[in-house]
Structure 1
């Protein structure tokens, strides 16, 4: 049988550690029980004689293994039939100064990663019915890529504004589209309403009917919007109040929660099922929206939105529950459908499956770059003869720098090319054999310089046996195949994983963090950008900016788009050939560096640092031609920053358009200022900023959005939390939340502040290169009045 891993759990039992793995298969859901497992970690072989005096006798055993630590010191494997007891021993040994390694790996992760099981498997064994579930006990599992057909249901709840009263639960899938509604059947429902409603006598009855339906329908995945942080957590709190269990798991098992109080986030584990949140998955897949509300995303992706919108939607929902439950059911079901359609349109499920298959992480695990790296690296490291170091064990005084950012030459240009190194850091890792194991091997085996590739800050890497370059090579091939097959979700998942490897190695939160290794990546990147610049400028072209993996080349003498395209292609071919020859001659390695002629800007603007004459970094704009249409692209400027008002963003777009295409702009500036002062642009004066901390954590310097959020809390009882967006305006009395300003007709907006803080800096950044200024243009109008 073939299956795809949905969830993994472990528990201590009298007979040893039991693993419970749930798979989706063509035969339906399968539970796999792996019995009598042991927890394992490693201790120095030199400390073997001390183990009995520290741990006593019995209940543990050791075994000789062909493994050593990063210093080359041999280790023993120490086994326990209880993971909880193994953690107690770990603490006891540490208290006696005895080092242990890999004691923090959960039994289920250890079992799966050592067998290279990520998502798909073949299962050899005969299922039996245990506790009403098809179950295989101690089958043979082998990794095998498998694309499952999963049963998915979109779920959404409606509640009172304080989320203490449940109104309804909507479900939407391929086979079921209806709403569990608290209340009695109404006349409107009997008159042939389009929405199917299951009426429930009470909130408890609503929950129970939902659980019963879930057990009968038995979906693999539950999807929703802000699903775990709101919907499921509200259901959990309601169940606790009613003395029930949130029995969403297969076999009626309850959910297990973990809370991260510092960030006010919660994580849920559902035996046999997976809960996926659309917001978290979109972010993991690198989608970007001005707002991740369901209304905003659905409008952007689908061109349609919710049935109820506006600032009083909470009150509208309560009013519908009291007076028109059929319309509330339609609203509830529409939200479920929107989530379903967003998942379909963006291929989110395919992305989640691809990411799980590649990394071995659980389907609902977003982020987790360090965990993904370790899942792939540890089993290969063991086969190379090493155990992993502990977090913080690799100490060094070296400071690893970030990516190289070149000083820019500010100005307004015609014909600028962007040459971009494709996946520069993964390419550096491959080309220069950069890898923790190769670093240790070079030192332990005292390899000659001929057998190593030099890094930086004293690092050297063995040319043979490097693990990370091979992992990246496999991913690279898989991505090329995914692109050839038109499998965009898989291609995107691979790109994200590959590009995360440097970040992992450069993070103190990774057990393999060593600044000598990470700096060998970044400093090699600095060298590559600088030497590429020298090569380009030796051919009489000017590099006006460079950023980590990109070079911006001004073609001063270029006259046409066709000529620019030709030069870009020539630079791409020539620079790639030069790097291949250089790496072969200098290091005796094959180059995997690949530079691409990525973009041709017909017009290009690089601003100065505000209030200074030096060029800015990571901020520019330009005109590109796509499908025969000119388009203005902004990077880092106000137009693409959500902490600037819509006024500033629209003003910048139109002003730059006029300047790039040589159209008059002075009248446009004056007209915009006049409209702001006349109160005609009030809807565009709203700031939006996210809370990064709890409201009461802001003490000394309280920014405007926090002041507005505190006013909202005082006036309405709302409790904005970290991660929430705050919308506010600037009034003559200071910042005020939009909700109160509009509802109460509050103080007059501070129009001059908007002109000075939003329009003036946007305009002056580009006007100064034309010998103009915002003040002069506006003042000329005033003098004419």
Structure 2
């Protein structure tokens, strides 16, 4: 009897049998009927040129390895016929090394076994699983077993079971083992804290607090709770790199199996090669999703990704213990007020849960997986996503993919075009923006890895579209333009249906196509591809600007996919909108006619009228008369008709400037743009600063992007502050924070130099703070902000800053 089920992929892995001659693929699926574990025999596949097959087979006769080689109706990008090598996964590395010794190139050997099996069946995230006979159900484990089975594409969107997990520990100190205090667990129907209780249990008795006598008991109970709750997804904040990393060490220390897999197998943990100091984990049938990484993958931006900061911005709520003494406050609560300590632990779990709900993060991850085939816990992965979509289509077009480094790289591809700006304070500036410019260029000019190969081999000029660096693209034999078109249509449909997670997932995938082709980490990297996108973008912006000037308007700035048009006269909002729409329609029509005439292709370029700035400020580069780039401010009308300020790239939206400078710029520019009085306000701000009423705004927060030891000459203030903090930590018996991999530091400038404000790990202020160096903040934070715009207002601050002649 044939059975079928809609399924969604949770995890996959492969392993060889004891003989090493047979490979099993194991997929864990979520289905409406429950969890299904599918196991099937499947060999690895890679390719060599058919001309190398005899030599490879001769080696196999000598070695007796279980490798089979068969010719295929496929060829390399160079047109050489290929043969497929079928072998157990455990032999892949040895086979590649052996062939390399003989100068035989092995292609696509780095494609993961499970990924290849799914992508070649166009299974991305969801599938229809078909199997013969009854499914064996493991009553004890709560999942069904399916041997072999057949997969076809599906669209099942699961309702996954979450568990929010957060641990509390002692403050790490040199020479001391970190102590596990508690583990907080929150799911849809279970809520508790496992506390390693060194106190009398009667002092803190509550239904959601479980008292354990020691760490080992807590770890055993955690295994039991995970099996009982049986989550599909464990969520948390810095979950893998802190909570799970600490727990892995604790389980090893106490020699207890970390049996978090759905089948009772231990969690697997290993060091990442691409990011030293970070770990990667895997559990059979379960996933761990970190809120920070997933927010970044979904393009969320915060000044700080600390849980308290993100929660206060998204939820207007936060941690129960905060401030400079947070670390010691947690330890004190653990020692003296276990109920408050448990509430703190549970609140952290709740905040993560609510952030996931508020941002629909899990829905985003599911939609991204359905589009790309990436597992839910695979962050980044733009290259892998591209290859999942592209490789099976390439194989059906009769080609195998190149290896890394085989593409043309003699010339370097430029980045996006940024026009020199005209600095000044302007009235009525319109912004026209090309919708998804790079994806549109790919579609319009047929830019594609296969299209490049076919275009270079095509004799007829009528069948080619010229690119850059000698690239030629076939007008009809290509893959990526059609894939981009399909993605765009699905995004438009997602927008109509109000499916924001899907729309965002597709937007990120489409935008990554250029980045992937321009990345040396992609097997399709070829600067003829990336340059034919970016240099075409340069041409489009320049020629669009020329066309706009011919219509009687001045273009004062252009940036990658946008042009900023100065109307040149006083207009109402409605008149400005009409001018913008007229320019938009005329430019789209002009490009359609131009490309049809010159190349015989249809234009997919779509210019949109985006914004009318009633007032607009483009600053000059400090100390020069030329305009800056990617930095401006403007005044628009909000949807309710109210005036609204917009800042791009200026101090007001840059986290490396102090809150003092950011707030100062926002209010000063608002007053100037709206022609409101600002002189007395500015003078009062200066007095407030000098009298210490703005000390809470004087904090710098910057990141050391290198280990502290790498800063040897001309040490910047944030590195000096980090050095002082590490010296203090050493005196406290705490390990250094910045010696190995840098990190974030908060500090304030005093007369004696930069002073760290707080040790974020312990929550303690390192030393009593000196008085701020107010002259520093006047000269380095307020002065640049004010002078930038005063240069164009004609105001001289010396006239009205009585008694503060040295201020600016």
- TM-score when scaled to structure 2? 0.94
Does structure 2 conserve the Cα–Cα contact (< 8 Å) formed by 1:763 and 1:773? no
Corresponding residue of 1:735: 754
Corresponding residue of 2:45: 40
Correspondence 1:73 to 2:112:
no
**How far apart are the structure 1 equivalents of 2:108 and 2:414?**
29
Question: Which one of 3, 7, 23 corresponds to residue 3 of structure 1?
Answer: 7
Q: Secondary structure at the match of 1:206?
A: helix
Question: Which one of 655, 660, 664 corresponds to residue 677 of structure 2?
Answer: 664
Residues 94-142 of structure 1 show CA distances to partners (whole Å, capped at 9, x for unaligned) of 1221111111112111111111111111111242136844110101111
| 1:705 CA displacement | 1.3
| Residue range with higher mean Cα deviation, 591-600 or 668-677 | 668-677
Question: Which one of 6, 21, 31 corresponds to residue 37 of structure 2?
Answer: 31
Q: Secondary structure at the match of 1:553?
A: strand
Correspondence 1:237 to 2:249:
yes
| 1:148 CA displacement | 0.5
Does structure 1 conserve the Cα–Cα contact (< 8 Å) formed by 2:259 and 2:265? yes
| 1:642 CA displacement | 0.4
Correspondence 1:85 to 2:91:
yes
Matched residue count? 778
Does structure 2 conserve the Cα–Cα contact (< 8 Å) formed by 1:695 and 1:720? no
Does structure 2 conserve the Cα–Cα contact (< 8 Å) formed by 1:576 and 1:595? yes
| 1:779 CA displacement | 6.1
Corresponding residue of 2:459: 447
**Alpha carbons of structure 1 residues 474 and 460: separation in structure 2 relative to 1, 3 Å:** same
Corresponding residue of 1:177: 191
Does structure 2 conserve the Cα–Cα contact (< 8 Å) formed by 1:170 and 1:336? yes
Corresponding residue of 2:388: 375
Q: Secondary structure at the match of 1:730?
A: strand
**How far apart are the structure 2 equivalents of 1:368 and 1:775?**
55
Corresponding residue of 2:569: 557
Corresponding residue of 1:49: 54
Correspondence 1:95 to 2:107:
no
Structure 1 residue ranges, 4+ long, deviating more than 6 angstroms after superposition: none
**Alpha carbons of structure 1 residues 216 and 156: separation in structure 2 relative to 1, 3 Å:** same
Residues 301-328 of structure 1 show CA distances to partners (whole Å, capped at 9, x for unaligned) of 1111111111221211111111221211
**How far apart are the structure 1 equivalents of 2:152 and 2:665?**
57
- 1:604-623 to structure 2, matched below 5 A, reads 604-623=616-635
**Alpha carbons of structure 1 residues 487 and 258: separation in structure 2 relative to 1, 3 Å:** same
Q: Secondary structure at the match of 2:568?
A: coil
Does structure 2 conserve the Cα–Cα contact (< 8 Å) formed by 1:447 and 1:462? no
**How far apart are the structure 1 equivalents of 2:529 and 2:769?**
57
| 1:283 CA displacement | 0.8
For structure 2, the 5+ residue unaligned runs are none
For structure 1, the 5+ residue unaligned runs are none
- TM-score when scaled to structure 1? 0.96
Residues 205-262 of structure 1 show CA distances to partners (whole Å, capped at 9, x for unaligned) of 1111111111122110000011111111111111111011222111121122232365
Does structure 2 conserve the Cα–Cα contact (< 8 Å) formed by 1:558 and 1:564? no
Corresponding residue of 1:144: 154
**Alpha carbons of structure 1 residues 781 and 159: separation in structure 2 relative to 1, 3 Å:** closer
**How far apart are the structure 2 equivalents of 1:65 and 1:742?**
68
Correspondence 1:394 to 2:404:
no
Correspondence 1:121 to 2:127:
yes
Corresponding residue of 1:275: 288
| 1:748 CA displacement | 2.8
Question: Which one of 46, 68, 72 corresponds to residue 61 of structure 1?
Answer: 68
Q: Secondary structure at the match of 1:252?
A: coil
Residues 507-553 of structure 1 show CA distances to partners (whole Å, capped at 9, x for unaligned) of 11111111111111111111111111111111111111000000111
**How far apart are the structure 1 equivalents of 2:459 and 2:277?**
50
| 1:679 CA displacement | 2.2
Correspondence 1:315 to 2:328:
yes
| 1:632 CA displacement | 0.7
Q: Secondary structure at the match of 1:572?
A: helix
**Alpha carbons of structure 1 residues 327 and 578: separation in structure 2 relative to 1, 3 Å:** same
**How far apart are the structure 2 equivalents of 1:428 and 1:586?**
15
Does structure 1 conserve the Cα–Cα contact (< 8 Å) formed by 2:321 and 2:344? yes
| Residue range with higher mean Cα deviation, 265-274 or 600-609 | 265-274
**How far apart are the structure 2 equivalents of 1:341 and 1:489?**
16
Q: Secondary structure at the match of 2:226?
A: helix
Corresponding residue of 1:529: 541
Corresponding residue of 1:770: 793
| 1:559 CA displacement | 2.2
| Residue range with higher mean Cα deviation, 419-428 or 45-54 | 45-54
Corresponding residue of 1:754: 777
Corresponding residue of 2:210: 198
| Residue range with higher mean Cα deviation, 160-169 or 340-349 | 160-169
**Alpha carbons of structure 1 residues 437 and 782: separation in structure 2 relative to 1, 3 Å:** closer
Q: Secondary structure at the match of 2:183?
A: strand
- 1:222-621 to structure 2, matched below 5 A, reads 222-260=234-272, 262-444=275-457, 446-621=458-633
Residues 572-596 of structure 1 show CA distances to partners (whole Å, capped at 9, x for unaligned) of 2221122222222222222111111
**Alpha carbons of structure 1 residues 38 and 414: separation in structure 2 relative to 1, 3 Å:** same
**How far apart are the structure 1 equivalents of 2:596 and 2:578?**
28
| 1:742 CA displacement | 5.8
